[in-house]
Amino acid sequence: MNKIVFDAIVVGAGPAGNSAAYTMANAGLNVLQIERGEYSGSKNVQGAILYSDALEQMIPDFREEAPLERHIVEQRIWMMDDRGHTGMHHRSDDYNEDLPNRYTIIRAQFDKWFNRQVRDAGATVLYETTVTGLIRDPRGQVIGVQTDREGEGFYANVVVLAEGVNGLVGQRSGLRSELRPEDVALAVKEMHFLPQETIESRFNITGDEGVVIEAMGTITEGMIGTAFLYTNRESISIGIGCLVSELSRVGKGSPYQLLDRLKAHPSIRGLLEGSEMKEYAAHLIPEGGYRAIPELVGDGWVCVGDAGHFVNAVHREGSNLAMTTGRLAAETIISLNKRGQACTKKALGAYRQRLEDSFVMKDMKKYKDVPRMLEKQGSTIMDTYPRLMNGAAQTWFRVDGRDKKAKENEIVKAAWRVRGLGLLGDAVKLARAWR
Amino acid sequence: MKKELPEHFRSYKHVWVFIEFEHGRIHPVALELLGEGRKLADKLGVELAGVLLGSGADALDEATRNCVAYGADLVYRVDHPVLAQYRNQPYTKVMTELVQKYQPEIMLLGATVLGRDLAGSVATTLKTGLTADCTELAIDDERSLAATRPTFGGSLLCTIHTLNYRPQMATIRPRVMAMPQPEEGREGRVISYEPDLDEQSIVTKVLSFLPDDASEASGLAFADIVVAGGMGLRSEENIQLVRKLATVLGGDWGGSRPLVQKGWIGADRQIGQTGKTIRPKLYIAAGISGAIQHRVGVEGADMIVAINTDPNAPIFDFAHLGVVADAVALLPLLTEAFRQRLLVNRLAG
Amino acid sequence: MRIFVCIKQVPDSAQIRVHPVTNTIMRQGVPTIINPYDLFGLEEALRLRDRFGGVVTVLTMGPPMASESLRKALGYGADRGLLLTDRFFAGSDTLATSYALSKLIEKAAEDHGMPHIVFCGKQTIDGDTAQVGPGIAQRLGLSQLTYVSAIDEIDPDKDTITVRRRADHGVQVLTSRLPAMITMLEGSNEIRRGTQADVLRAAQAKITQWNAAGVGIEDLSLCGLRGSPTVVKRVFAPSARSEKAVMIPAGDGGSATAAALIDAIFERQPALEEDLISEAGGY
Ligand SMILES: Cc1cc2nc3c(=O)[nH]c(=O)nc-3n(C[C@H](O)[C@H](O)[C@H](O)COP(=O)(O)OP(=O)(O)OC[C@H]3O[C@@H](n4cnc5c(N)ncnc54)[C@H](O)[C@@H]3O)c2cc1C
Ligand SMILES: Cc1cc2nc3c(=O)[nH]c(=O)nc-3n(C[C@H](O)[C@H](O)[C@H](O)COP(=O)(O)OP(=O)(O)OC[C@H]3O[C@@H](n4cnc5c(N)ncnc54)[C@H](O)[C@@H]3O)c2cc1C
Ligand SMILES: Nc1ncnc2c1ncn2[C@@H]1O[C@H](COP(=O)(O)O)[C@@H](O)[C@H]1O
């Protein structure tokens, strides 16, 4: 094989890899992208939320063509107990704006579209090809990748690792340590198909309007985790996830059992009724936060997206961080390329600086204590408080001849009974972690 | 755009069934199609003809009698040494000539290896429409053949018409149509056709024919009782539970596609759209969900019994009898209970 | 050897859904694949090329997106991809498809030489008709060899070929003349994994596109909907049986259940019990 040396090789075609490859190819770099799936997104059949801003930075008019499902006009946050939920709903017609801020998408379709933009920008994309390792020169500089297909490998000045949370290339090559069970959540999700009209009447929406439900509470059996439900055009994405460490520690059933229970929950059941379940999948989410971020650059390589542990679990943001980190890494490489500079660890350090200057690192730092706090207070937050809240709501709303003062007392007493002074402590800890 | 039958096709009459005839025997699908063709011909008020190609007077005589017994009013009979074994080129030539000369409005063939090979080329030489793999045939108000077939992997059915060409051709899978009762002594006419064929001009030669090992070929499609297993059996060993029940009932056995894909059973044991269509008197499905591709292969059974742990399994939508139970546990008990019951009755009778 | 392989891009029927209310196909997000039966012909073509040298050309008729399938075929190791695409082809049935493809093959033969073999799939998983291959053979006067399980001998210089062909109760050994149209039986081989060089070449290859005029089709009434004698009049979901299964109480799930089930079977089908008793079962 004639040994072409590409300007860059991108491993993976998720949001991070696509952003990196797109940005570089658009700037005229000779880019090779390698994806192990049959196509970009093929391993990712489920629904997700797309945050416009990160994509707009690269493709301002993406709305004209990208396969978007619904723009979100209503957000529900639920604290669930076994029988119901108490929560907050926020809805506004303001979200019916010209350039909506959040959309539901189906990743398989969206990623495929995004990847087509990458190819149209001039990148060469290989599918069904798994990168098995990095090729280094005698000095340790990464100069290419080896794959599971027969051949001598592919060569480039820099390798962008956008291989997702379970990035084995990075791990095997010793660039990253293995994931710790307390840093990753295992999420299972399903797609439920329903006629468009049914979805619209069940959620009180029209046209392309969409609703998101995010929930926590007794549905995770006291384990640290959350559940979600997104409305797509003619399907509903539903899922639930828990920290891997919790799943093995608490041993309260598999994530699939949790999902089955969630679907049977009185608050959810009716929303899914009559639907046809088509796809299900399990996926890891890196939730270790700032402290779990690994080494991001080295001689001849950089790491972006989930592979770099860039997920904001509190706000459920991931793909936007993946896109932004992919773009920032690409911009770093482009400027080195234009100046004819080698992609050494030192030179690539500029990527780290770009991250620090952006919202990415600022947000990651802001919530750096949340994972630890949750590790300690998990079951209180996931179990005790949801029960208290729902109990309180019932006491408050039932009209049963008792006077309101008595009801207030009962609510307060119930809370004291369960948590006592701990209540105060929890509030303080939560506030600290949030700060 | 409106499609209408052009004038020159208006003279096309009668329903034809291609009689698949190899190694001295008629393929059963041809007889099934005579049964179905009879209904179409009666509805149209026309004649039903069998089209029989082969070599050797005796064998063709008997086949001709059979065609008539199974419902044909007449038989087009073509006896020529070149036609001794099926080959596409001479068969296509003869069939094309027959159609042009005798002008049928409908021509049915079995969707077998032979039928599919022949139907495609004949339809192309005649430039007419062909609907493959039909599961239902009917005549609509405008005397047009409405051929219904599964599409998109069986999730939907579509009804196809050939409006402006003749003949209207269709292939039908074996065992989809019911086998008619033969009527001995039924009278019919024979029209012999002398084709202009010479071996020299046929490019394809049959060097030999290696018959399948008869003991291995499963008679699944024709069994009166079929027991089948699906992924609910959980392991390869449990296939024998299905086999045992089938043995006690004197029936045959099979399975759903995933079992074939896992290599647990042979491909000729697969039941369903891409496997065999069965029409047994009794079909017992153990641990089979009843996906549409499976369903289309078993719907012709007189009675379907389903054993499944999931009360919402789709198979209960089309089974006649159902039990929500663990098939692995129930099958041996069922086998034993059948054995006892039949034994007692046999002794008593 | 010059070998052409006809491939079709089809929706992955395992993932098709039917709208529960309108009974229409919900295509949204249904991925497309190369018709699985076509891959057996492609692999056979690659093997012949490896043995005799030559060029494997893959051809398809379809929307512009179908070039993805050609690219994929190149990734398996095919040498050249040709796409025939034109809005006039929309709605083609098998007769119109075989006409268009035979024109494409004639055009390709003009440019690259007459093929020794044209491979087609046994059938497609969407149309499922198994007619297009025979249709092409008939129009181009190729020897028609369907359901081939093995190519025993082939001599591209003498234009002879010997194959094994699956027939109903056995295997026919046939000799014939090239050029031939061959459909390979499923399972007769397994598609290879292309090398790094193959996939890289595929990703960067230029796919040649033709439209109807380009392949010399003058009479458009032979194409698409107009050139198709068959008309789809109705599409509908299989009707549910009016009554659902009668459920036998599972009881203990044991012998009592088995007995109850047998009672129910024979109660409905008394004739069956008599048949079974009179026949010698498997004792
Ligand atoms: C249940 C769930 C719900 C989520 N919801 C949201 C949401 O609503 N909004 C949001 O913003 N984020 C969400 N996220 C997070 C978001 O999905 C991720 O942050 C984002 O996909 C990360 O992008 P990425 O490109 O880094 O990795 P990925 O999307 O994982 O892409 C990695 C790609 O690399 C490929 N690959 C891996 N290894 C190799 C190899 N060795 N060789 C070749 N290719 C390889 C993979 O096949 C894959 O295509 C959610 C995650 C989960 C699990
Ligand atoms: C183009 C195409 C063609 C196809 N052709 C065919 C075909 O010809 N034939 C075919 O069969 N399929 C075919 N399929 C596959 C079909 O779609 C289904 O996937 C298949 O029929 C499912 O097989 P199954 O019911 O055995 O397995 P599953 O779908 O896995 O179902 C297993 C069932 O067993 C039940 N079960 C589990 N444990 C037990 C237990 N202990 N006791 C009792 N029940 C239990 C479960 O509740 C479930 O209902 C085709 C698919 C495609 C896409
Ligand atoms: N549009 C098409 N383009 C290329 N080849 C086709 C097309 N349609 C059918 N074929 C070929 O013909 C075979 C049989 O198709 P069918 O008759 O539709 O079952 C397929 O397996 C392909 O090899």
Looking at residue A225, which CATH number applies to its domain? Answer: 3.30.9.90
Quick one: C18 and C86 in the same domain? yes
Quick one: A347 and A411 in the same domain? no
| Sign (positive or negative) of CA dihedral A5, A18, A299, A127 | negative
Question: Residue C123: how many CB atoms within 10 A of its CB?
Answer: 23
Q: C69, C199, C201: best mutation site toward chain A, by most A Cβ within 10 Å? A: C199
First to last CA, chain A: 56
Quote the ligand 3 centre to B91 CA distance (angstroms).
Answer: 23
Confidence bin at B329 (pLDDT 50/70/90): very high
Neighbours of B (≥3 Cβ pairs closer than 8 A)?
C
Quick one: C161 and C270 in the same domain? no
Query: Which of B220, B233, B335 is closest to B286 using CA atoms?
Result: B233
Nearest CA to ligand 1 atom 21: A319
pLDDT tens, residue by residue, C156-187: 999 999 999 988 888 999 999 999 999 998 87
Half-sphere exposure of B8 (CA within 13 A, CB side): 2
Residue A86 lies in a domain: no
C36 lines ligand 3 (CB under 6 A): no
Q: B9, B89, B107, B117: best mutation site toward chain C, by most C Cβ within 10 Å? A: B117
Residue C159 lies in a domain: yes
Residue A357 lies in a domain: yes
Establish if C13 touches chain A: CB-CB under 8 angstroms: no
Residue A350 lies in a domain: yes
Quick one: A282 and A303 in the same domain? no
Our CA-based measurement puts residue B187 at a distance from the nearest CA of chain C, in whole angstroms, of 31
When divided into structural domains, chain C yields a total of 2
Residue A332 lies in a domain: yes
Closest in C15, C28, C194 to A234, CB measured:
C28
| Pairing status of strand C9-11 against strand C32-34 | antiparallel
Quick one: C209 and C160 in the same domain? yes
Tell me if C16 and B206 make a contact (CB, 8 A cut-off).
no
What's the CA gap between A31 and A126, in Å, rounded?
A: 11
Tell me if A150 and C200 make a contact (CB, 8 A cut-off).
no
pLDDT of residue C283: 42
Nearest CA to ligand 1 atom 31: A14
Quick one: C36 and C152 in the same domain? yes
Is the pLDDT reported for residue C114 higher than 60?
Answer: yes
DSSP codes of every residue in C122-186: S--SSS----HHHHHHHHHT-EEEEEEEEEEEEETTTTEEEEEEEETTEEEEEEEESSEEEEEPT
What's the CA gap between B62 and C278, in Å, rounded?
A: 31
Quote the ligand 1 centre to A120 CA distance (angstroms).
Answer: 22
pLDDT of residue C24: 64
pLDDT of residue C282: 42
CA distances from A284 to A290, A306, B228 (A): 17, 10, 38
Task: Locate C71 and state its tokens.
Answer: 């690219």
Domain boundary (A286, A309, A340) is at A286
**B46, burial (CB in 10 Å: exposed 0-12, middle 13-18, buried 19+):** middle
Domain hosting residue A21, numbered range = 5-69+105-177+294-366
Looking at residue A169, which CATH number applies to its domain? Answer: 3.50.50.60
Which ligand 3 atom is at minimum distance from the Cα of C84? 3
C12 lines ligand 3 (CB under 6 A): no
Establish if C213 touches chain B: CB-CB under 8 angstroms: no
Quick one: A265 and A127 in the same domain? no
Task: Locate B180 and state its tokens.
Answer: 């008619």
Quick one: A145 and A272 in the same domain? no
Closest in A128, A149, A195 to C21, CB measured:
A195
Quick one: C75 and C172 in the same domain? yes
Quick one: A139 and A225 in the same domain? no
Query: Which of A94, A68, A172 is closest to A130 using CA atoms?
Result: A172
Looking at residue C166, which CATH number applies to its domain? Answer: 3.40.50.620
Quick one: C212 and C266 in the same domain? no
Query: Which of C126, C119, C125, C128 is closest to C147 using CA atoms?
Result: C119
Give the percent of chain B with pLDDT over 90.
70
Query: Which of A247, A197, A189, A194 is closest to A220 using CA atoms?
Result: A247
pLDDT of residue A85: 93
Higher pLDDT, residue B215 or A347: A347
pLDDT of residue B243: 95
Question: 3-class SS at A363?
Answer: helix
DSSP state of A305: G
Is the pLDDT reported for residue B191 higher than 70?
Answer: yes
Tell me if C245 and B306 make a contact (CB, 8 A cut-off).
yes
Q: Whose structure tokens read 């074994």? A: B85
Higher pLDDT, residue B156 or A153: A153
Tell me if C17 and A128 make a contact (CB, 8 A cut-off).
no
Quick one: C119 and C214 in the same domain? yes
Quick one: A171 and A281 in the same domain? no
pLDDT tens, residue by residue, B104-121: 999 999 999 999 999 999
Nearest CA to ligand 1 atom 30: A164
Question: 3-class SS at A156?
Answer: strand
Quick one: C216 and C251 in the same domain? no
Confidence bin at C281 (pLDDT 50/70/90): very low
Helices vs strands, H then E, count in chain A: 15, 19
Quick one: A261 and A171 in the same domain? no
Tell me if C172 and B206 make a contact (CB, 8 A cut-off).
yes
Quick one: C90 and C196 in the same domain? yes
Establish if C27 touches chain A: CB-CB under 8 angstroms: no
Is the pLDDT reported for residue B136 higher than 50?
Answer: yes
Domain boundary (A263, A286, A309) is at A286
Tell me if C187 and B89 make a contact (CB, 8 A cut-off).
no
What's the CA gap between C219 and C221, in Å, rounded?
A: 5
C127 lines ligand 3 (CB under 6 A): yes
What's the CA gap between B112 and B132, in Å, rounded?
A: 11
Pocket test for ligand 2, best of B151, B273, B299, B312 (most atoms within 8 A of CB): B273
Our CA-based measurement puts residue A263 at a distance from the nearest CA of chain C, in whole angstroms, of 21
What's the CA gap between A398 and B310, in Å, rounded?
A: 39
Quick one: C145 and C96 in the same domain? yes
Quick one: C47 and C182 in the same domain? yes
Query: Which of C207, C151, C193 is closest to C176 using CA atoms?
Result: C151
What's the CA gap between A338 and A396, in Å, rounded?
A: 66
Average pLDDT, chain C: 88
Residue C237 lies in a domain: no
C5 lines ligand 3 (CB under 6 A): no
Residue C235 lies in a domain: no
When divided into structural domains, chain A yields a total of 3
Prediction ipTM score:
0.82
Quick one: A307 and A164 in the same domain? yes
Contact A155, A144 (CB under 8 A): yes
Quote the ligand 3 centre to B147 CA distance (angstroms).
Answer: 21
Is the pLDDT reported for residue C213 higher than 90?
Answer: yes
Quick one: A279 and A195 in the same domain? yes
Residue C230 lies in a domain: no
Domain hosting residue C247, numbered range = 243-283
Residue A91 lies in a domain: no
Question: Residue C249: how many CB atoms within 10 A of its CB?
Answer: 10
| Pairing status of strand A159-161 against strand A301-303 | parallel
Quote the ligand 2 centre to A207 CA distance (angstroms).
Answer: 37
What's the CA gap between C132 and C96, in Å, rounded?
A: 9
pLDDT of residue A19: 98
Quick one: C172 and C266 in the same domain? no
Higher pLDDT, residue C235 or A86: A86
Contact A207, A95 (CB under 8 A): no
Establish if C94 touches chain B: CB-CB under 8 angstroms: yes
Quote the ligand 2 centre to B255 CA distance (angstroms).
Answer: 9
Pocket test for ligand 3, best of C95, C123, C124 (most atoms within 8 A of CB): C124
Domain boundary (A286, A306, A336) is at A286
CA distances from B112 to B40, B275, C142, C147, C273 (A): 21, 12, 22, 11, 33
Ligand nearest to the CA of C35: 3
Per-residue confidence of chain A (435 residues) as pLDDT tens digits?
A: 457 899 999 999 999 999 999 999 999 999 999 999 998 988 776 679 999 999 999 999 999 999 999 999 999 999 999 999 999 999 999 999 999 999 999 998 899 999 999 999 999 999 999 999 999 999 999 999 999 999 999 999 999 999 998 888 888 888 888 888 888 888 989 989 898 999 999 999 999 999 999 998 888 887 888 899 999 998 999 999 888 888 877 666 678 888 989 999 999 999 999 888 777 788 888 988 888 899 999 999 999 999 999 998 888 889 999 999 999 999 999 999 999 999 999 999 999 999 999 999 999 988 888 877 777 777 777 788 888 888 888 888 888 888 888 888 888 888 887 766 666 677 767 666 666
Residues of C numbered 177-216 whose beta carbons fall under 8 angstroms of chain A's beta carbons: which are they?
A: 193-200, 203-204
Tell me if B162 and C226 make a contact (CB, 8 A cut-off).
no
Quick one: A278 and A201 in the same domain? yes
What's the CA gap between C20 and A193, in Å, rounded?
A: 9
Residues in chain A closer than 8 A to C9 (CB atoms): none
Residue A385 lies in a domain: yes
What's the CA gap between A308 and C192, in Å, rounded?
A: 35
Ligand nearest to the CA of A189: 1
Average pLDDT over residues B187-209: 94
DSSP state of B6: -
Average pLDDT over residues B60-88: 96
Quick one: A186 and A170 in the same domain? no
Residue C229 lies in a domain: no
Ligand nearest to the CA of C13: 2
| Per-residue b or e along B171-185, where b marks 16 or more CB atoms closer than 10 Å to that residue's CB | bbbbbbbeebeeeee
Tell me if A276 and C17 make a contact (CB, 8 A cut-off).
yes
Cα dihedral C45/C47/C48/C52 (nearest 10): 140
Residue A299 lies in a domain: yes
What's the CA gap between A338 and A5, in Å, rounded?
A: 16
Pocket test for ligand 1, best of A58, A163, A287 (most atoms within 8 A of CB): A163
Is the pLDDT reported for residue C42 higher than 60?
Answer: yes
What's the CA gap between A6 and C155, in Å, rounded?
A: 43
Tell me if B303 and C280 make a contact (CB, 8 A cut-off).
no
Question: 3-class SS at B250?
Answer: coil
pLDDT of residue C66: 94
What's the CA gap between A12 and C201, in Å, rounded?
A: 19
H helix or E strand, kind and range, residue A225: strand A225-231
Establish if C15 touches chain B: CB-CB under 8 angstroms: no
Rounded to the nearest 10 degrees, the angle between the axes of helix A385-397 and helix A404-419 is 170
DSSP codes of every residue in C13-39: GGG-EE-TTT--EE-TT--EEE-TTHH
Closest in C19, C31, C196 to A154, CB measured:
C196
Higher pLDDT, residue B150 or B72: B72
Is there contact between C and B if contact means ≥3 C-beta pairs under 8 Å? yes
Question: 3-class SS at A1?
Answer: coil
Residue A405 lies in a domain: yes
Confidence bin at B333 (pLDDT 50/70/90): very high
Our CA-based measurement puts residue C177 at a distance from the nearest CA of chain B, in whole angstroms, of 6
Tell me if B22 and C168 make a contact (CB, 8 A cut-off).
yes
Average pLDDT over residues C86-110: 92
pLDDT of residue C14: 64
Query: Which of C65, C177, B268 is closest to A113 using CA atoms?
Result: C65
Quick one: A340 and A232 in the same domain? no
The residues, any chain, with a CB within 8 Å of residue B39's CB and separated by 6 or more, are none
Contact C216, C103 (CB under 8 A): yes
What's the CA gap between B132 and B161, in Å, rounded?
A: 12
Phi, psi of B17 (to 5 degrees): -125, 125
Quote the ligand 1 centre to A186 CA distance (angstroms).
Answer: 13
Residues in chain C closer than 8 A to B112 (CB atoms): 168
What's the CA gap between C121 and C110, in Å, rounded?
A: 24
